[in-house]
């Protein structure tokens, strides 16, 4: 425990040192302010731009797209995983597909999706689902594989109904691995949606960043960038801590 | 599979394999049919159907323009991949052996792995300027972290006796790496290489799709912008086929390694 705390402190110190170094380099002109602005300026710009409300619409747009894609990916991925798990024949077909799925840069489908569905929310949601759902599916499969057979037998001895077996036995036993899938799904959906907005879109935070870059508005660009990264880090961090708690509770109980 | 007794497994081995091949064929046909359906449903506005795409692709492969772009992507990708692999391997070994440094670094790396790195691409462009080096740098940003994390995990889970033996034999760090660490971690290293391969490819392609004049990513976006649907579909097809082929190859190598060393 103390060791973990020590690692945490050193980690914070290292990160703080890096930020301070960047600040000093920018302030003294070692790094050209046209390339990177000092971190304190980034924070100020973020606060300014968020406070002015000019990006409220983009923020709502982006995060509603991400949440929609994430929810769809979790729903579809879990369902597909559960279905494939039931049939060993489907499993034989699906396993090699899933094994090589993430080797394909899903993102290259985005221009096709835009042509197919038009510029707007739809291609972004589909892109988010395409990049996130297979991760949920893989983790559902591995979670269901990991349910000890003795628990299923226990459920059968107690003559639990299928729904109750699912709720009381399978779900709790598979939850840690499922959760890993959800965590991945969130970051993949986030990456997919923001990348899509960045490359080809007319709304959203990704678009706002690329617009600021193209109009040489470095201050706005770094402010928005910091905001997106902070939100991503905080969202992932919450899931990371939650996952650790789940795992620890399991090993303790 | 585990509750099938050995006898039935042996007798049904060939028929099972036949069923598997049949299912795989059905799956392929289904996917082609889906592709065809999307193509003809949209009347070729967004996706061109499989056969025309194939014909277009054969024509495309004979043009030098295509190979110019492919060579640009390949050069950037190879540089990004090789650098990610080497630096990642080294960092992973260091962080794996120095436990405390590893504990400090791992969450930072994992955090970096999950953020949308696209938002950082303008910074890369501002630092490196438009062109090859920016693409390579962006590819490394994607490919380096998974390689490091996989190697780190492999070294950390190594039986301590191996490292102690190396210390007893007073191997130099380089020899210890060459004769103990790398062979013992090889399956995980191959896995790391596999992930790093696809992510650095993704990084390079995204780099090319955003403000670039060369490469397959540019060709894809350009095909879209010019309404040249067969071109963009053909480029996507090439990338998907190459990515899947290399991934399958690396999976095979990884499995063979596991079978040989017998660990995990």
The answer on B32 and B121 residing in a single domain is: no
Residues of A in Cβ contact (< 8 Å) with B117? 191
B169 plus B246 within the same structural domain: yes
Given a cut of 60, whether residue A178 has pLDDT beyond it is yes
- Give B100 to chain A, closest Cα distance, Å: 7
CA B36 to chain centre: 27
Query: How sure is the predictor about A252, in pLDDT bands with cuts at 50, 70 and 90?
Result: low
Q: Specify the pLDDT at position B221.
A: 87
Judge whether residue B6 has pLDDT over 70: no
* Shortest CA distance from A237: residue in chain B: B111
A230 lies within 8 A of chain B by CB? no
DSSP H helices in chain A? 2-28, 39-52, 56-86, 88-101, 110-117, 121-145, 149-157, 162-164, 171-199, 204-214, 218-252
In angstroms, the CA A184 to CA A70 distance is 10
* Domains defined along chain A, listed by start: 38-88+105-252 (1.10.3720.10)
CA distance A143 to A77: 13
Specify the length of chain A in residues: 253
Provide the 10 A C-beta neighbour count for residue A243. Answer: 16
pLDDT in tens, A68-98: 999 999 999 999 999 998 888 888 888 888 8
Q: Which two tokens stand for residue B143?
A: 């490919």
Q: How high is the ipTM of this complex?
A: 0.83
Residues A180-237 pLDDT 10s: 889 889 989 999 999 999 888 878 888 888 888 888 888 888 999 999 999 998 988 8
The two three-digit tokens of residue A93, written as one number: 């077909």
What is the rounded CA–CA span in Å between residue A135 and residue A73?
9
Q: Which of residues 127-186 of A touch B (CB under 8 A)?
A: none
3-state SS assignment for residue A42: helix
Residue B116 has pLDDT above 90, yes or no: no
Whether the pLDDT of residue B50 is over 50: the answer is yes
In this model, does residue B7 exceed pLDDT 60? no
pLDDT surpassing 50 at residue B3: no
Q: How many CA atoms lie within 13 A of A165 on its CB side?
A: 16
Three-state DSSP state, A80: helix
Same domain for B24 and B153: no
Q: What is the mean pLDDT of residues B248-253?
A: 85
- Chain A residue with Cα closest to B43: A116
What total of structural domains would you count in chain B? 2
CA-based nearest residue in chain A for residue B200:
A105
Q: Are B13 and B60 in the same domain?
A: no
For A79-89, letters b (16+ CB in 10 Å) and e give ebbbebbeeee
Question: Does the pLDDT at position B2 exceed 60?
Answer: no
Look up the domain containing B212 and give its range.
51-261
Helix (H, G, I), strand (E, B) or coil at B185: helix
- Classify A253 as helix, strand or coil: coil
Instruction: Check whether residue B112 and residue B197 sit in a common domain.
Output: yes
Is the CB of A191 less than 8 angstroms away from the CB of B122? no
- Residue B179 vs residues A194, B158, B163, B167: alpha-carbon distances, Å: 44, 14, 11, 12
**Per-residue confidence at B201, pLDDT binned at 50, 70, 90?**
very high
- Distance separating alpha carbons of residues B99 and B264, to the nearest angstrom: 22
Does residue B34 sit in the same domain as residue B140?
no
Burial class (CB in 10 A: 0-12, 13-18, 19+), A125: buried
Nearest CA distance, A64 vs chain B (angstrom): 16
Measured CA to CA, the distance from residue B173 to residue A97 in angstroms comes to 40
Q: What is the pTM of this model?
A: 0.85
> CB of A37 within 8 Å of any CB in chain B?
no
Residue A93 contacts B, CB cutoff 8 Å: yes
Closest-CA residue of B relative to A186 is B114
- Provide the pLDDT for residue A56: 86
- CA–CA dist A189, A131 (Å, integer): 6
Average pLDDT over residues B164-171: 88
Q: Are residues B195 and B219 in the same domain?
A: yes
Q: Are residues B14 and B122 in the same domain?
A: no
Give mean pLDDT, residues B231-260. Answer: 85
For residue range A13-68, list pLDDT tens digits in order: 999 999 898 888 888 878 887 788 888 888 888 888 888 888 888 899 999 999 99
Name which residue leads in pLDDT, A127 or A90.
Answer: A127
Which of A182, A199, A175, A189 lies closest to A231 in space, CA to CA? Answer: A189
- The answer to whether A139 touches A184, Cβ cutoff 8 Å, is yes
B133 and B75 fall within a common domain: yes
Give the mean model confidence (pLDDT) for residues B225-230.
Answer: 84
Is the CB of B121 less than 8 angstroms away from the CB of A198? yes
B36 shares its domain with B67 = no
Residues B184 and B72 in one domain: yes
Q: Are both B14 and B145 inside the same structural domain?
A: no
What tokens appear for A105 in the block? Answer: 């840069």
Provide the mean pLDDT of chain B. Answer: 85
CATH number, domain of B128, equals: 1.10.3720.10
Nearest C-alpha neighbor of B249 from the set B179, B182, B197: B197
Cβ B195 vs Cβ B153: under 8 Å: no
Q: Is A229 on the interface with B (CB under 8 A)?
A: yes
For residues B47-55, give the mean pLDDT. Answer: 86
Least CA distance to B117: which residue of chain A? A191
Question: Are the Cβ atoms of B19 and A89 closer than 8 angstroms?
Answer: yes
pLDDT digits (tens, 9 = 90+) for A153-176: 888 898 888 888 888 888 888 888
Does residue B84 fall inside a structural domain? yes
């Amino acid at each position: 425990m103390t060791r973990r705390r020590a690692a945490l402190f050193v980690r914070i110190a290292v990160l703080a040192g890096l930020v301070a170094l960047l600040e000093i380099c920018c302030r003294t002109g070692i790094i050209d302010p046209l390339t990177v602005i000092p971190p304190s300026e980034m924070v100020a710009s973020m606060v300014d731009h968020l406070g002015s409300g000019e990006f409220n619409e983009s923020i709502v747009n982006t995060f509603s797209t991400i949440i929609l894609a994430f929810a769809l990916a979790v729903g579809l991925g879990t369902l597909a995983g559960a279905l494939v798990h039931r049939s060993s024949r489907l499993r034989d077909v699906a396993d090699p597909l899933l094994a090589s799925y993430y080797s394909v840069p899903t993102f290259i489908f985005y221009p096709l999706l835009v042509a197919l569905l038009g510029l707007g929310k739809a291609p972004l949601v589909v892109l988010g689902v395409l990049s996130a759902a297979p991760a949920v599916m893989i983790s559902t499969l591995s979670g269901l594989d990991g349910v000890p057979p003795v628990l299923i037998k226990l459920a059968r001895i107690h003559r639990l109904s299928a729904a109750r077996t699912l709720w009381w036995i399978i779900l709790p036993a598979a939850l840690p691995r499922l959760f890993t899938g959800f965590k991945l799904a969130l970051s993949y959906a986030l990456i997919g949606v923001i990348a899509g907005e960045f490359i080809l879109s007319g709304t959203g935070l990704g678009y706002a960043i690329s617009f600021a870059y193209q109009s040489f508005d470095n201050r706005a660009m770094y402010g928005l960038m910091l905001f997106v990264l902070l939100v991503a880090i905080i969202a992932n961090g919450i899931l990371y801590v939650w996952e650790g708690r789940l795992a620890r509770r399991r090993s303790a109980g | 599979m585990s509750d099938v007794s050995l006898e039935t497994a042996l007798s049904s081995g060939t028929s099972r394999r036949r069923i598997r091949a049949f299912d795989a064929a059905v799956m392929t046909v289904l996917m082609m049919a889906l592709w065809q359906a999307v193509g003809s449903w949209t009347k070729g506005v967004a996706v061109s159907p499989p056969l025309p795409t194939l014909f277009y692709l054969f024509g495309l492969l004979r043009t030098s323009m295509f190979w110019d772009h492919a060579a640009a992507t390949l050069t950037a990708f190879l540089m990004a991949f090789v650098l990610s692999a080497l630096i990642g391997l080294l960092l992973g070994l260091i962080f794996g052996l120095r436990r405390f440094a590893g504990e400090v670094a791992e969450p930072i790396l994992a955090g970096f792995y999950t953020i949308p790195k696209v938002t950082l691409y303008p910074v890369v462009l501002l630092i490196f300027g438009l062109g090859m080096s920016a693409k390579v740098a962006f590819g490394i940003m994607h490919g380096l972290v998974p390689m490091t994390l996989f190697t780190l995990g492999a070294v950390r889970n190594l039986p301590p006796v191996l490292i102690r033996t190396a210390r007893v034999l007073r191997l130099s760090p380089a020899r210890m790496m060459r004769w103990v660490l790398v062979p013992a971690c090889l399956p995980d290293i191959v896995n790391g290489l596999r992930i790093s391969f696809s992510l650095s490819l993704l990084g390079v392609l995204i780099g090319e799709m955003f403000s670039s004049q060369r490469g397959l990513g540019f060709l894809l976006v350009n095909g879209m912008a010019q309404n040249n649907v067969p071109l963009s579909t053909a480029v996507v097809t090439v990338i998907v086929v190459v990515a899947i082929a290399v991934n399958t190859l690396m999976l095979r190598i990884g499995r063979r390694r596991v079978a040989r060393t017998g660990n995990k």
